Chain A
Amino acid sequence: MTDDDTIIRVRGLVNRFGEQLVHDGLDLDVRRGEILGVVGGSGTGKSVLMRSIIGLRVPDEGQIQVLGVDARSEDEDIRLVIERNIGVLFQDGALFSSLTVGENVQVPLKEHHPDVPDSLRYELSLLKVKLAGLPADAIEKLPSQLSGGMRKRAGLARALALDPPLLFLDEPTAGLDPIGAAAFDELILTLQRALGLTVFLVTHDLDTLYAICDRVAVLADKHVVINAPIEEVERCDHPWVREYFHGPRARAARPASMAALATGEQ
């Protein structure tokens, strides 16, 4: 169906809300094992694109293939393949507020693998919580007892519960302080390497783009205007891209992230 390297393939995607056209024949490929950063101005439909791929929104036209199956299919078996193989981190974690962090992580395990014994399920949830960089005692806490950064980590732990090969992150560093954001970037990179993940990352954060993304897709004018490694994207002469990568904030981000990369490699 698809060549082996493409894990998400979007062709001719059209999304409109009433009169307003958000995507007009959008194409996008995500390769297996890469971290793809999706950027674009407010209202260019980054989140709509992500929701279309995950299946939370039915697009008006176009084809979407995820893991080689048709993401628009309503066949239950096909939906199940997708649900078991993707993890999603929503902006504020979207944890279930009445369950503890540990119970949150166990929800997908219980749903998809009811035969797993309780003790193993508990250990798996503990493992995921610690992989996400939370202390072990966080497992007993309620989401309301956690800080914003910890909630994101807990949301990440839940997204990783089923060991999905494909991870969607919606603005993972939004609302974190710069140190917390850098630590979260580092965490994503570590997990991506250890677990062999493919990551689809919607972001505004230039530091994140420079620090961890293999390729960057820019959404503008209802299309993906460029999808390439960041050095190439920087040279793109689309006006929005130029403004974004050569504005005052970009100049500040570049040297800082180069330094971060250097320390990361040591």
Chain B
Amino acid sequence: MRDDERLPESRPPVLAADDTDATRLRLRGDWTLAHALAMGERLRQVPEGVTAVDAGDIGRLDSAGVLQLLRFARRHCIELDVFHFRDDHQPLVDAIEDVADDRPKKKREYGVSAALARLGFAVQDNWHEILALVGFLGENLLKFGRMLAQPRRFRLTSTVYHMEQVGLDAVPLVFLLSYLVGAVIAFLGANILRDFGAEIYVVELVNVAFLREFAVLLTAIILAGRTASAFTAQIGAMQAREEIDAIRTLGLDPIDLLVMPRIIALLVMLPLLTFIAMIAGILGGATVGAFNLDIPPQAWMARMDATIEVRHFLVGLSKAPIFALIIGLIGCLEGLQVEGTAQSVGERTTSSVVQSISLVIILDAIMALWFMNMDI
């Protein structure tokens, strides 16, 4: 039986030369982890030329103590035979001595070559991500076609559930943010247009901006942050717990079961949310107009009726399904690529938000150019 571990007081390690033989060390006290620093210091002060170590008076000894003594022996090039341990400490010493020799090489590289290698791997990873996304798009189109041919594959309950999560629950947030952005644009525009005496053009500014660009862009960015991350985390957690594999072995298709309902829900809800965002943004602008710019709501409506063409509305709305597809695809794909660990779920979630927001903005810029050049 080992010494009583329950005793709260512990005695610091003591090391002294023997009275009769100066090359003989005597160890007393506790040689445990709690005294790691003291042990190291005492042992470092020992002069060269030790021939024997009497450790028989050590009170408590643990693996940290044994390890320190082994290091000491290695430093002074003395064999472990010259150590004398208490009988009940001997098995611990033997067990540690048995495994304490070989150690792995540290194989971390630094410097230019490592930095170059990391850059190369990053480029390769990005290329693979793009390939995977295009492949995933193709797979989903195929599965969607198959679903049209075999309507029983359509999951109504799941789709409606996701429509509520993605669409209905996001309405307050989308409305509030669009309203505020609309108000801010009206303020900014009025400040500049006032110098030209053209404050009334605020109506066109807010209306065109929201119908063509801001409503759909704001909605898509909000959903990329809110929904893409949720999709990745949900599917990623299932992937990490091998639930996706279970789905496959049960003869079900994870694309049909998990991905399709989510993407269809987004395709339906994102245009609807965009419409709400348009109304909210215009309301925001009209509020500022009514209270700060002397443009009463009736005047705002009349001006809007006279100057705004329906094509602006259609241009804005036509982008919604494309953004919905991007957000849904990236969210689900990143979730399916999760590998086992909690950290992987986190990394993939971050990556899915970053990717979907970036892609939404890049595509929006490209489409704005295209529509402008086509005079639409």
Contacts and interface: CB of A to CB of B under 8 A. Distances in A.
A143 B100 CA distance: 23
A208 B258 CA distance: 43
A32 interface: yes
Interface of A: 4, 32-33, 67-68, 81, 85, 97-98, 109, 113, 115-117, 120, 123-124, 126-128, 130-131, 136-137, 139-140, 142-144, 162-163, 165, 190-191, 193-196
A121 to B, nearest CB: 9
Interface string B80-109: 000000001001101110011011100100
A163 B104 contact: no
Contact of A165 (B5, B8, B37, B91): B5
A115 B103 CA distance: 23
Interface in B41-84: 62-64, 67-68, 71
B68 A142 contact: no
Given A97-B340, A98-B343, A136 B1 contact: no
A112 to B, nearest CB: 8
B85 to A, nearest CB: 13
Contact of A163 (B40, B64, B91, B102): B64
Given A98-B341, A120-B40, A194-B92, A136 B102 contact: yes
Contacts of A144: 339-341
Interface of B: 1-2, 4-6, 8, 32-34, 36-37, 40, 62-64, 67-68, 71, 88, 91-92, 94-96, 99-100, 102-104, 107, 339-343
A123 B5 contact: no
Given A127-B67, A194-B95, A67 B5 contact: yes
Given A120-B40, A126-B104, A139-B104, 18 more contacts: A85-B5, A97-B342, A97-B343, A98-B341, A98-B343, A115-B37, A116-B33, A116-B64, A117-B36, A123-B67, A128-B63, A130-B99, A130-B100, A131-B63, A131-B95, A143-B341, A163-B32, A195-B92
Contact of A124 (B63, B102, B104): B63
Given A98-B342, A144-B339, A136 B104 contact: yes
Contacts of B71: 123
Nearest to B107: A140
A128 B64 CA distance: 10
B52 to A, nearest CB: 24
B153 to A, nearest CB: 33
Contacts of B99: 127, 130-131
A127 B104 contact: no
B103 A113 contact: no
A143 B339 CA distance: 12
A196 B92 contact: yes
B103 A136 contact: yes
A29 to B, nearest CB: 16
Contacts of B5: 67, 85, 165
B24 to A, nearest CB: 26
Contacts of A81: 8
Given A120-B67, A124-B67, A196-B2, A163 B37 contact: no
A136 to B, nearest CB: 5
Given A98-B342, A163-B62, A165-B2, A196 B88 contact: yes
Contacts of B40: 117, 120
Given A127-B67, A136-B104, A113 B36 contact: yes
B341 A120 contact: no
A240 to B, nearest CB: 33
Given A127-B96, A163-B64, A191-B95, A113 B34 contact: yes
Nearest to A138: B104
B340 A162 contact: no
B37 to A, nearest CB: 6
Nearest to B89: A196
Contacts of B6: 67-68
B33 A193 contact: no
A194 B62 CA distance: 11
Nearest to A165: B5
5 contacts: A85-B5, A117-B40, A139-B104, A140-B104, A193-B91
A142 B340 CA distance: 11
Contacts of B95: 131, 190-191, 194-195
Nearest 3 pairs of A and B residues by beta carbon? A98-B343, A194-B95, A97-B341
Contacts of A98: 341-343
Contact of B100 (A33, A115, A127, A142): A127
A112 B284 CA distance: 57
